[in-house]
Amino acid sequence: MLKNRYHDAPRAADFTIDQAWESYSPEEHDRWDRLFRRQREVAKGRACATALKAMEELELSASGIPHMGELSDKLEKITGWRVVPVAELVPDEIFFDHLANRRFPAGAFIRPEAEFDYLQEPDIFHDIFGHVPLLANPVFADFMEAYGKGGQRAMQLGQLHNLARLYWYTVEFGLIREAGGLRIYGAGILSSPQETVFALEDDSPNRVAFDLQRIMRTKYVIDDFQQTYFVIDSFDALLDACYKDFGNVYQQVKDQPDIEAHETLAEDALLNKGTLGYFRKKASV
């Protein structure tokens, strides 16, 4: 992993660091502005209404890298969440503990110019533009806290890989059905101009109706566009589906084979592009 300039910053036991907002250079602020302006344009008509509304509410803009403390003061008034600066990926148990306490760990660094279009690690643009707006939605805010608590339990049960898939196919790469058609809520898509278009408009990926066990069995790739996207009907539906003890869900998936990222199953409710936008189609047997 490339070391960003925060890599050696002094950190607390919970891996949080000082964002040192005054240390950002004019070039770094300008890079945020260019990333923001480009993605804001692409997100119009493609990001879910919740994300677009929250960006206004939180006053996210192309006016330089946000100060996480000031942004947190706005977010906390809405759902009690705060955004806390970290240097890079933190250990799973630390990550889950933050989420369980309504703290979202956001990378303090901004991607180098050479990685303007794509980077592996979550930088401040991915975390704040991609993840933070959804935390202003009360239902999704509850889901993320529940995910943090679920993560702590999954680690005890040795089922973390199943739960990480749930995070991946919802929080990072989830699609949601709106009256006007499919829209994006996953941060990994929302922070990528190329995948924002691909996820909704390309014919190649599968778009499958949300199914908790199906997701927990489905592998994913981390260095390319997704081959399968899962679609929820609403954030309420997502929370309802997940707001239960996963203990027996893990039991049910434990003995079933993993599903490859590109595979579809006969029982999948496939949503494919049709003349009227997207509609449920019986799986092609």
Residue 223 has a CB neighbour count (10 Å cut-off) of 6
- Rounded to an integer, what distance in angstroms lies between the CA atom of residue 170 and that of residue 104? 16
If the CB atoms of residues 42 and 209 are measured against Fe ion, the closer one turns out to be: 42
Which one of Fe ion, ligand HBI, none interacts with residue 187, CB within 5 to 8 A by kind?
Answer: Fe ion
Which one of Fe ion, ligand HBI, none interacts with residue 146, CB within 5 to 8 A by kind?
Answer: none
Among 83, 108, 141, 187, binds Fe ion (CB under 5 A): 187
Binding-site ranges for ligand HBI (CB under 6 A): 86, 89-90, 92, 95, 105, 122, 151, 164, 167
If the CB atoms of residues 1 and 285 are measured against ligand HBI, the closer one turns out to be: 1
As annotated, the binding site includes 126, 131, 172
Q: How far is the CB of 229 from ligand HBI (least distance, A)?
A: 18
If the CB atoms of residues 98 and 270 are measured against Fe ion, the closer one turns out to be: 98
If the CB atoms of residues 90 and 134 are measured against ligand HBI, the closer one turns out to be: 90
Among 85, 122, 150, 151, binds Fe ion (CB under 5 A): 122
Query: In the bound complex, which residue of the shown chain has the CB atom lying closest to ligand HBI?
Result: 95
Task: Enumerate long-range contacts of 9-18, CB under 8 Å, 24 or more apart.
Answer: 9/87, 9/108, 11/86, 11/87, 14/84, 14/94, 14/97, 14/98, 15/86, 15/87, 15/90, 15/91, 15/94, 15/105, 16/84, 16/85, 16/86, 16/105, 17/85, 17/86, 17/87, 17/108, 18/85
Q: Are strands 103-107 and 270-274 parallel, antiparallel or unpaired?
A: unpaired
**Is residue 188 classed exposed, middle or buried when 0-12, 13-18 and 19+ CB atoms within 10 A define those classes?**
buried
Q: How far is the CB of 68 from ligand HBI (least distance, A)?
A: 13
If the CB atoms of residues 107 and 270 are measured against ligand HBI, the closer one turns out to be: 107
Residue 240 has a CB neighbour count (10 Å cut-off) of 12
As annotated, the binding site for Fe cation includes 126, 131, 172
The residues of the shown chain that bind Fe ion, judged by CB under 5 A, are 122, 187
